[in-house]
Structure 1
Amino acid sequence: MNDPERTMLLSVHPRFATAILAGTKTVEVRRQRVAAPPGTPVLLYATAPTMAIVGLARIASVRVASPREVWTASRTEAGISRREYDAYMSGALQASGLSLEATVAFEEPVPLSALRAAGPFHPPQSYRYLTREDLRKMAVAAPDGGAALCATLSKLVRV
């Protein structure tokens, strides 16, 4: 995997997190340019009402282009309707389609309350990159049953 300093924390609506982890949504779209190389680990944060890190994936590729081009390339994998996509992309000049692979759903999600108990934590509006310290705090916050998260984090950073 990549340098742990480049692990991405990606906020997604719960229905999209579920679809990504089920393998029915393999492309996540964003309104801004995302410059992440293939192999970048991605922790999936499901927004309200879930409010927890629910799984992980790896970036297979990123396509940055006009919203129309990204839709044409990813419409069958994006897991949203054209109407939803157009509403989301309204006014955007470019878009990114993140192709995701190697997904793992955590048996026990890591709730926002546990993340905040381990230290200051603010879920991103869209995405952000995590530091080694962020990853250490997540390992501490993971419930005892969060074996998948702990195993993954131990590969990324020495905890």
Structure 2
Amino acid sequence: MSDPERAMLLSVHPRFATAILAGTKTVEVRRQRVAAPPGTPVLLYATAPTMAIVGMARIASVQVATPREVWTASGTSAGISLREYDEYMSGATRASGLSLEEPVTFEVPVPLAALRASGAFHPPQSYRYLTGEDLRKVAAATPVTGEALHGALGALAPA
């Protein structure tokens, strides 16, 4: 996981993407163990009806624990109610709380059609890791966003 040419592509509902980018939601919760080091770039893919990469953030830290422990530590920052959280975590024995920082909203979102035009692209159900080559394809999909991506990722997505 310490590959310096790796970023995370995270699928989130549009309301959560908006909240993350606004800085009002600073923790994203997942039902499985997520092992990503602090500083890992996270591209935010907003699911239907948006269907686009709308921005990015960086992982500040990851807490892996029981669902109850993750809620106790970060529920107020997760942007959902306890009822929604409990429904989402139903049956899970482990949970991850990804603390996110440095949100950047892309001036021009990268739509799914543009991502697919640059090669085979399938948004993940939850998340997946992207290599430097994957990132170069994302950056090439929309020139304006590509510039923002290059700036935010530095050497990770060279032109």
One-letter code of the match for 2:29?
V
The letter for the 2-side match of 1:61 is: S
**Cα deviations across residues 76-133 of structure 1 (Å, max 9, x unaligned)?**
1000000100000000001000000011000100000000000000000000000122
* Per-residue deviation, 1:6: 2.0
Instruction: Specify the alignment match of 2:144 in structure 1.
Output: 145
Q: Hey, what does 1:93 align to over in structure 2?
A: 93
SS in 2 for 1:75: helix
Flag structure 2 segments of 5+ consecutive residues without an equivalent.
none
Partner Cα separation in structure 2 for residue 124 and residue 158 of structure 1: 24
Equivalent position amino acid for 1:98 in 2:
L
Structural mapping, 1:62-141, within 5 Å: 62-141=62-141
Amino acid at match of 1:39: G
Alignment-mate amino acid for residue 129 of structure 1: Y
Structure 2 length-normalised TM: 0.94
Question: 2:112, 2:119 → 1: CA distance?
Answer: 11
2:32 pairs with 1:35: no
CA distance in 2, matches of 1:30, 1:88: 9
Checking the alignment, whether the CA contact within 8 Å between 2:5 and 2:132 is kept in structure 1 is: yes
Q: Report if the CA contact (8 A) 1:60-1:100 is conserved.
A: yes
Give the structure-1-normalised TM-score.
0.94
Match of 2:26 in 1: 26
Structure 1, unmatched stretches of 5+, are none
Q: Distance in 2 between matches of 1:55 and 1:3?
A: 22
Q: Percent identity?
A: 78
- Cα 1:139–1:50 shift into 2, 3 Å: same
Three-state SS of the structure 1 residue aligned to 2:83 is helix
Name the counterpart of 2:52: 52
CA distance in 1: counterparts of 2:149 and 2:132, whole angstroms: 14
**CA shift at 1:11, angstroms?**
0.4
Quote how far apart the aligned CAs of 1:75 are: 1.1
How many equivalent pairs are there? Answer: 157
Structure 1 letter corresponding to 2:130: L
8 A Cα contact 1:135 1:153, kept in partner: no
Structure 1 residue 140, shift from structure 2 partner: 1.1
Q: Which amino acid aligns with 2:27?
A: V
* Structure 1 stretches of 4+ moved >4 Å: none
Query: What do you get for the CA RMSD once the two structures are aligned?
Result: 1.3
